[in-house]
A and B are shown apart, each in its own frame.
Chain A
Amino acid sequence: SQTIHQWPATLVQPVGSPLSLECTVEGTSNPNLYWYRQAAGRGLQLLFYSVGIGQISSEVPQNLSASRPQDRQFILSSKKLLLSDSGFYLCAWSRGQQSSEQYFGPGTRLTVT
């Protein structure tokens, strides 16, 4: 069966510090991968998605970047965090077909102080 991992589970970082969140998927190959953010009291915002190694599409301009160095690894980064980067970050994967559901990881709670 497939499993998706995210770490860390929680993170408190000062403004201006770098960020690296990691997501890995087990039990499947060539998944489509997604990063979402949930700000407090708001819905899901798609940040990035990837259909293959090294292929990253950005959905909104922002202070963040994403990379996919391996087939089942997706990394979300920032060089300098802003207060507005606080939120709940979710990674998800799908089989990439139009009828495919997405499977979500447990999330990372990021607080920028």
Chain B
Amino acid sequence: AQSVTQLGSHVSVSEGALVLLRCNYSSSVPPYLFWYVQYPNQGLQLLLKYTSAATLVKGINGFEAEFKKSETSFHLTKPSAHMSDAAEYFCAVSDRLGNTGKLIFGQGTTLQVKP
């Protein structure tokens, strides 16, 4: 069975600093991995996804994530944080059973950006 663990429920960075949000997965088969962002009182928006092509995946809003099989990780990074990046971030792994399209989400990480 697949699972996802997000390390750190809250991360605080200064504006202009590096953003690093951690995600580790568990999967018995090659995983499909996703990062989503949620702003207050809104739905989730896809930032990027990994589907076994390039291990470094670039997404929207300057975010990128690197798939590391040896570390079972898919950490999300952004070189320079903006105030507008303050939001909740979710890592997810695809449930590889059948074609339900179900995603298994981590518990989320709240990113705070300080001026």
Q: Which chain A residues have a beta carbon within 8 Å of chain B's beta carbons? A: 32, 34, 42-44, 46, 49, 51, 57, 88, 90, 92, 94-107, 109
Contacts and interface: CB of A to CB of B under 8 A. Distances in A.
Nearest to A100: B101
Contact of A102 (B41, B96, B99, B103): B103
Given A34-B102, A43-B105, 18 more contacts: A43-B90, A43-B106, A43-B108, A44-B90, A44-B105, A44-B108, A46-B102, A51-B101, A90-B44, A96-B99, A98-B32, A100-B101, A101-B34, A101-B49, A102-B44, A102-B103, A104-B44, A106-B43
B41 A109 contact: yes
B73 interface: no
Contacts of B105: 43-44
Contacts of A104: 36, 43-45
Interface in B84-115: 90, 94-96, 99-103, 105-108
B101 A98 contact: yes
Contacts of A99: 32, 49, 51, 94
Interface residues of B, number: 24
B42 interface: yes
B49 to A, nearest CB: 5
B46 interface: yes
A102 B102 CA distance: 8
B41 to A, nearest CB: 7
Contact of B107 (A43, A92, A94): A43
B102 A101 contact: no
Given A98-B96, A99-B32, A101-B34, A106 B101 contact: no
27 contacts: A32-B99, A32-B100, A34-B101, A43-B105, A51-B99, A51-B100, A57-B100, A90-B44, A95-B101, A96-B99, A96-B101, A98-B32, A98-B94, A99-B32, A99-B51, A100-B94, A102-B44, A102-B46, A102-B101, A104-B36, A104-B43, A104-B44, A106-B42, A106-B43, A107-B41, A107-B42, A107-B43
